[in-house]
Each structure stands twice: as C-alpha cells, then as structure tokens.
Structure 1
Amino acid sequence: MFFIHKKSREVRKKLNSHNFIIFIGNFKINWSIIEMEKIKSPLKIVILLGIGIFVVETAIMLVFEFVGIPSAEGSIYKPYIRVLLNSIALLILISPVLYLLYNECNKRIKYENKLRSIYEGTEEAMRIIDKDFNIIMVNSRMAEISGVPIEKQIGAKCFDVFPSDACGTGFCTLKRVLLGESVMYEEKLRKSKKGKIWTRHIAIPLKDSEGKIIGVIEAFRDITKRKRIEEKLRESEEKYRTLTEKSLTGVYIFQNGKFIFVNQKFCDIFGYSKEELIGKEFWKLVHPDHREIVKERGLKRERGEKIPEQYEIKVITKDGKTKWVEMRATQINYSSKPAVMGNLVDITEKKKAGSELRKYAEELEKTNKLKDIFIDILRHDLLNPISVIEGMSRLVLEEEDREDIRRELNLILKNVEKVKSLIERASLLGKLESKEKLEFKQIELREIINEVIEDYSQISKEKIIKIKANLPSKEIIIEANPIIREVFSNLISNAMKYSPENTTIEVGLQEKNNKILCYVKDEGTGIPDEYKKSIFERFKRIKKEGVKGSGLGLAIVKRLVELHNGRVWVEDNKPRGSIFYVELPKNQ
C-alpha cells in the first residue's frame, strides 16, 4: 500500500474509512517479466503526474479537516469528486504496468507467430510431445507424412500415431530424451499411409523457463528415396565387387602411389595376399627394366595428365620370377580424391608363344627358300633329260623316211611338250604358293589380253573355234604384276580344251568403280554345281573324253588372283557352257 505520512495515523484511519487511499493489497507483479527499469521518460512523467494528483487530493482533504469545511456527508458533490480523482490517479498509476503487459504480450504473439510460420514452413515433419507421451503440437508436414490429420493427432499418444519399430520394446528413444539426451538417427520403416518409409529422426528435450524438461521436440525427414538409391548403390557395388573378384583379369586401384584395392586374380598373378599388397607402392612390383617409366606414367595419370592407356611391361612376382603383363589404366575419383584404376593380364605364355612363332616363321622362311631352290633344281634336272629326248627325237625325225617310225617320233615329241608344260606349271604354282605378296606396277590390261588372244589364234584355227574380244576402246590401267598374263592364258586355254568345233569363246573386260571385271565365256558342256569350287584346287579337273590336262591351270589362276587381292569364280553360260569371272582392284 502507499503510505501518506507516518505521523498522521488519525487522518490515515479516516481516509481508510472513507476509502480515500488506494490499497494495492496482495496484487503482485512478476518483475522478472516486466522490467520497470525499461520504462521510458514519458511513462515516468505519467507516473509522477498520477502521484501528484493523489497528493493534491490528499492535501485538499487535510485542509477541509483542519479548516472545518463540512464533511463529505454534508455535500453531494465532494464524495464523487474524491472517487473521480482516486480513479484517475489509479488509472494513471497502473497505466505503465498495463502498457508493459500489453507490449510484452504483443511481442510474444509476434514471436509465436514467427515461430509457427517457421514451424509450418519447414520441410521437416515436427511434433511436440509432453512428458506423458501425449502429442500437444503438430505441423502440417507431419500430418502429410503420417497420413493422420492434425486434429486426430493432438492429444493422442505418440506411439499410436506414426510409431517406430522400437515402440513398445523398451528401447524407446524418447525416454532417453526426457532424461536430457539429444538424439539423431535414421529410423527404419515407420508406418504411414504410403506403407513403410525411412526417416531421419531428431529429438531434443523441451524445457521451461526454469530449465526443467517438460516434453520432447521431434523432427522427421522422409529419406526413403535416398535409402532406395543407397540400396541400389550397395547392390551395384556388390555386383561390381563380385564381378571384379571373379574376373579373369587382375584389377587394382592405387591412390597416392599405393594400392588401396586389388582383386584375387591380381594377387594370384603376383603371388601376394591382399593384406600384403594394400598400402604397397605400385611400382615396387615392376621389373627394374621398366620400373622408372611405369612409376612416372602412373603418377602422371593420377594427376590427370594424358599418357598411353595400354602397354606391356615386365613385373616381378613375390618369389622373384619375371612375368610379362599387358595393362590398361585410367584415372578415377575414389572417395572424392583422384586415383588410378587398371587391369592387367598375364601374357607370359603369349610372349613365349610369340617368340616361338617368330622362330618358326624364320625357319619357315628358310624352308620356303629351300623349297624354291628345290623346285628350281627339280625343274632343271627334269627338263635336261627331256630336252635331250626332244633333241634326239627331232634329229631322227629329220633323217627318217619310214612313216611308222615318224609317227612314233611325233608321238614322243607331243608327250615331251606335255611333260615340259607340266613341269613349268608345277614349278610356277610351287613358287606362287610360297609367296605372300607380289611387286606391282601399272599395266595396261587390254593390251595383255589382246596378246594372249593372239598367242592362241593358230590353235583356235586348227580347232575351228572363234575367239571374240569384247574390250573397251579406252585403255584400262591397273596395278598388277606382269605374271597376271598367266590368268588369262590359263582361262582361254581351259576354254579351248572344253569347247567343241564351230563355237565361240568370248573374252570381255568391264570397269566398275575401282574394280575391273574380266570374263571368259565358252559354249562347252558346262560345269556341274558340285564341281564349281573344287575345280580351282590342284589336280582337280572335269573328266572329258579326248581332253588332256594337268589339273594345275585353274589352281594357278586362283593363286595369282588372290595375290592380286581379287577373286575368281565360275557360273553357267546360258544356254550352255561356262563363264569364268575374275575381279581385280584397280589400285593395290
């Protein structure tokens, strides 16, 4: 209460009886909430003004008492004036308190609205739970994830709405939070309208102004998509790891020059265990002959520099043996840092086989040379006695008059020519089969064909066979070896053997893009389909009465065409006969 003066007890009693003084009574103000020292000077003036009015009113009442002015009972206005003045003074006195209370409430409302805006606007699903596990506050995101409307969640138990697998098991995390612990973890398969989902869960204690725990604030985030991606990534990694471990090639990853991963095949190649290789510098496995260049390239590749991706090197195994490996490597990111991933194959046996193959090739080349020498010797040794026989037969023929002896001598000379032809052809085919390539130069093909036709003009007259040339008027230049002449000679010779009298052999030449197509048509008996491929093999020929031959002509044709990167085949010539085609490239 406010005190007027310590010595005026009687006045104080009278004022009390007339209710002139204002009693605060037991009205208490929480000064921790309303801080009076924050009142600004205008409010101080209002307070002083209220105190002043109260003092003036009290002074007037004292004057009335001592001067003898009639009391309040004798006047109808004075009590009302006193009440009015007391009310004004009271209002003025409590107005700062009311103002501060209003201002404080307004701030709190604004702050609460701001918090609610953040609470509702966050991507996190949030709820507040009291100490009895009752839900007292929920945001809209929580209702969306759980599938339960807000009004049905308020007042419900937390384990009845959006429960976790731990609810009811004695491992409830909220009990730990109510004891003062803050937790953050990923909760597995919380139930919702979508079925089961993964959430990231954060829970912290809710405290009052005195620091006592009165509940729990929970925040959830749906991480189902992330978990599915992680699961797929784990499956992919497991598949890759399985594939890598079962790979027939050695797979490795090194970072900062040291192995951080090797598969079992890599260990098998070098004879080390995985534990022995992890952390080992990669270049220590390389043979001294190649160690420096491999180290330099490996470190450059790890820095991202461009170097050859594949090469063959020598390596050293754990037991000191030397092996050859073929390796391929590339830069990758491993744990957000540059690294090198590669694979290698043990090619030691391949290298040995290659070395043996080279030796065999060298020996084969020597053998081919010996074969050519042998063919030349054989040709020379066979032709020499045949030439003697031919010479002696011709001498006797010139001097002999008897018809029967001359007939026998002509038969000998005819067979001598056949033997000579057979030896020459066999010698030519033997040399062709040992060759891998020929030397080429530009040749006018039309001129060669005309020369071959001229060579067979006398024979064609004797057999009454016409040779028709269907050649273009312009020159046909190709890259070939002069021995290509044998192709057309053998084809025309073969056609004349199988053509009856009074028929025509047509030799043609056509230019198609970058290729030349030559053909030789005859009107003979033709070639059955089952023989159209085999006739190009050695000593394979169609048997015909009265036709003699070695069976080497078409084999020579095929080999010569192959050496010119061309092809040869035979087709039927309607209505009868055969057509032999030769296709050659213009440029080799």
Structure 2
Amino acid sequence: MATTLTSQQFVKAGTQFPLTGNADGYSRPVLPGNVLNPYAFLVDISERAHTREMAITNVLATAGIGMWSYGVYSKKFHLCPVASGFLGMKGSSTFGIGLLMQKLVEWNQKHVMEAAKTACCTQQDFETELQINTQGCDSRWLKITGKLYCSDGLAMKMMGTLTDITAAKQEELRKNDLMAFLNHELRTPLSTIKLYIQNTARVARMENNKPLEDKMLRADQQTVSMTQLINNFLTLSQVQGAKLTLHKSSFNLCGLLEAVAADMVVLYPGRKFKVKPSKAIWVNADYDKLTQVLINYVNNAVKFSAAKSVVTLSCGMLNGEAVVTVQDKGRGIKPEDQKLLFCRYSRIGQKNTKGYGLGLYLSREIVESHGGEVGCESEYGKGSVFYFRLPL
C-alpha cells in the first residue's frame, strides 16, 4: 500500500533528491512534477499544436480541401500535398514570398494579396476566388480562405484553406452566358412589339378611340418594364462573369436627367416628375448604363411613394465630383435596413411588390465600375434621397 509523506517526513527520512540552485543560493529539492527546463513546456505545446494541425490537414484532405500557412517570422509559405496539387506542384511545398509573387503576377491575382493584407489589418477572416492556369490542364478556379493567428498580441502565422471550385464555377459561367444570350436575343422582338404598340396607340389617338389608346399605353408600359428587366439580367450576367464593359462618351449629365424624366412621364401617366435646373455638367461615361441606374432609382421612388407626390431629379457638383440625386416623399427606410439596400436580391419592404432585388445592386456595380459611389439618405416616414457620384 502506497504511503503519502509530508514534506517534514521527507526531510527526516533523509531522502536524496536532485537539487536546483536559484538567485539567492538557496537549494530546494525537485519534487515529482517540477520542470527543470523552463522551455520544455513550450516545446511540448509546439509539438502538440503541430500534431493537431497535421490531424486537421489529414481530415480536410479526405474532403479534397487543401491547407496553406505563412509563418510571420520564417517568411515562408507551406502548402499541404492537396493544396500543392491545385497549383500544379507535387507533394508538400515550402517557398518564400518571392516565388508566390511571381505566381500571382503570372496568374494576375493581386486581389488575393490585397484581401490578405486587409484581413491582417482588421484581424478578420478573408475569402475570395482566384483563377489559375497550370501546365498541362485547363483553367482552374479555387476558393481561398485565410485568417491571421496571434499569440499574446503578436502575429504568429496566417492559415487557411484552398478548395477546388472549378466545376461549380464553370456551371455558373455557362448559366451566365446562356442568360446573356437569351437577354440579347429578346431585345429585337421586344423592340418590334414596342414599335407596333406605339403605332397602334398613335392611330387610336388620331381616331379619337380613347379606350384602345389607353390599352396600348398600358401595353407599352409593360414593354418598358420588360426591357428594364432584360437590361438588369444582362448586366447581372456581365457582373458575375467579370465582363462588364463600359462604352464611354462625353455627354451632358443634366440632359440625361431630362430625357429619363420625359420617359417616366409617359411610363407613369399621372405621376409628377421634376428636374431641378442646373448648369451643364459634362462627364465621360457610359450613357446607357447610367440611364439604367437612373431608371432603377426612379422606379424605386415611384414604387414607394404616394401617387400624388413629386419625384425630383437633380444633379450638381460637390468636391470636384458630379452628383445625381433622386428624391421622393415616400415611406422612407429604417436605419437598420439602409445598409442592405445595395446588396444583391435585397428587397427591403417589398414583400407585396414585384421585382428580384437586383436594381440597386446593379446600380452600385455600374457606378463603381465608373470609379464612383452610390448611397442613400433616408428618414423613416418622410422619404428618401438616392444618389450616385462620378469623378470628373
């Protein structure tokens, strides 16, 4: 049977223990459980962390997910065999940032480095996509995630995953191409239909056939709505495929507002539209794309304001930029909902209205592709002002 001794009994027994010295010269016995080497614990923890990391890597590898890491002090990248295979290399790979930069330049994926830098500065996760061209195979798409890990406030390493999303990306691109093709092909017959409707409405007006004229005007409104819907989906397919192109020309921005307001009077008879006069503001931009943005703004203003209220369009200069605003006196938007306005498929307060929640999202993409900015100022219950800014 084991006997438990007190410290005094240890001394009386005269048991020999290894001694350790300290600063004051006092020597004390090393009891079981004491650590002679103060760094042994750190080494043990490091080995445990490495073992745990390897276990996680092996589990992810069975799902086809690769692991990568970057040591802040070693300044080396390490890729597991799965991640190396994605980049056309074999086995585990360890290399410096110089080789990575060469690869990134070759792949033209500098946005990955920008995303990683932002994640380090904000201490947040990052996730983005990159397209690579490896030798002997077609283009491959990868999803990369990463996070900075710190210890006692010091950055130690960045780690993340690599996942092959080529099949899903190719399917998405095929759908986008199909959507772009259908939208493009629908334009011609829709334009013909619109022409016949307008001619019929004009004949009905000449013959004083008011009922027929009203029906043709309503039909014309539907063709305008369909045209706008086609434009939105076509722009969406271009945005998703990173193929949004701008056909810029020099034009008077105030003239664009007047043209859109005139179209809106025809589209929404009985509604009041006002264009605030301003000096000519010449911009170099895509006229059709900005028309699409302005129509999206006006459609929202009409949709969420009373029938007799006025929708005001204005433009001006502020801090060297052109600013366009569309103001309504509608229901307004709650502060917590305003940050979601320009997100894809966002339909704030639109449960009983038609639409796909794409208009404002696409407006943001179009304006930002011009180097501009979109925004909204709203007071709930009193109305909203949607605006966009363009550099000159």
TM-score normalised by length of structure 1: 0.38
The 1:550/1:413 distance shift into structure 2, 3 A limit, reads farther
Work out whether residues 342 and 364 of structure 2, in 8 Å CA contact, stay in contact via their aligned partners in 1: no
Q: Give the Cα–Cα distance (whole angstroms) in 2 for the partners of residues 191 and 551 of structure 1.
A: 78
Match for 2:316 among 504, 509, 531?
A: 509
Distance in 2, Cα, partners of 1:375 & 1:480:
19
Aligned length: 288
Q: Output the CA distance in 1 between the equivalents of 2:214 and 2:220.
A: 10
Residue pairs, 1:83-482, within 5 angstroms: 188=19, 195-197=26-28, 231-248=37-54, 309-310=76-77, 324-327=91-94, 350=162, 353-354=163-164, 357-381=165-189, 384=192, 388=196, 391=199, 395=203, 398=206, 400=207, 406-436=209-239, 437=242, 438-440=244-246, 447-456=252-261, 465=272, 467-469=274-276, 471=278, 475=281, 477=283, 482=288
Letter in 2 for 1:467: K
Shift of 1:358: 2.0
Shift of 1:188: 1.7
Letter in 1 for 2:42: S
Q: What residue number does 2:359 align with?
A: 556
Aligned CA distance change for structure 1 residues 325 and 511 (closer, same or farther; 3 Å): farther
How big is each residue's C-alpha offset from its partner over 1:128-172, in whole Å with a ceiling of 9 and x where there is no partner? xxxxxxxxxxxxxxxxxxxxxxxxxxxxxxxxxxxxx99977x9x
For residues 497-539 of structure 1, the C-alpha deviation after alignment (integer angstroms, 9 at most, x for no partner) is: 74666957251434347x65432223x3433539865798588
Contact 1:535/1:541 (8 A) holds in 2 = no
Cα pair 2:201 2:217 within 8 Å, conserved = no
Matched, 1:578 2:384: yes
State how far apart, in whole Å, the 1-side matches of 2:36 and 2:378 are. Answer: 67
Q: Give 5+ residue unaligned stretches, structure 1.
A: 1-164, 172-185, 199-223, 251-264, 270-306, 316-321, 331-342
User: Which amino acid is 2:77 matched to?
Assistant: Q
What SS is found at the alignment partner of 2:92? strand
What's the CA shift string for 1:305-335, capped at 9, x where partnerless? Answer: xx983365869xxxxxx975354689xxxxx
Go from structure 1 to structure 2 and tell me whether the alpha carbon gap of 1:482 and 1:570 turns closer, same or farther (over 3 Å shift): same
Per-residue CA shift, 1:201-231, capped at 9, x if unaligned? xxxxxxxxxxxxxxxxxxxxxxx9xxx9952
Q: Letter of the aligned partner of 2:174 in structure 1?
A: K
Identity %, equivalent residues: 11
Residues 328/507 of structure 1: CA separation in 2 closer, same or farther (3 Å cut): same
What are the residue-to-residue correspondences of 1:493-504 with 2, within 5 Å? 495=301, 498=305
CA distance in 2, matches of 1:346, 1:562: 29
Compared CA separation, residues 311 and 448, structure 1 to 2 (3 A):
same
2: CA distance between counterparts of 1:425 and 1:539?
Answer: 17
**3-state SS of paired residue (1:374):** helix
Kept after mapping to 2: 8 A contact 1:479/1:586: no
Which structure 2 residue ranges, 5 or more long, are not aligned?
A: 1-10, 62-73, 83-88, 98-156
Per-residue CA distance 1:16-40 (angstroms, 9 max, x = gap): xxxxxxxxxxxxxxxxxxxxxxxxx
The one-letter code sitting in structure 1 at the alignment partner of 2:19 is K
* Alignment check: 8 A CA contact 1:440 1:481 kept: no
8 Å Cα contact 2:250/2:282 also seen in 1: yes
Q: CA separation in 2, counterparts of 1:520 and 1:363?
A: 38
- Please tell me whether the aligned partners of residues 323 and 346 of structure 1 are also in contact (alpha carbons under 8 angstroms): no
Distance 1:543 1:359 in 2: 34
Tell which has more relative contact order, 1 or 2 (C-alpha 8 A, sep 6+). Answer: 2
Partner residue, 1:204: none
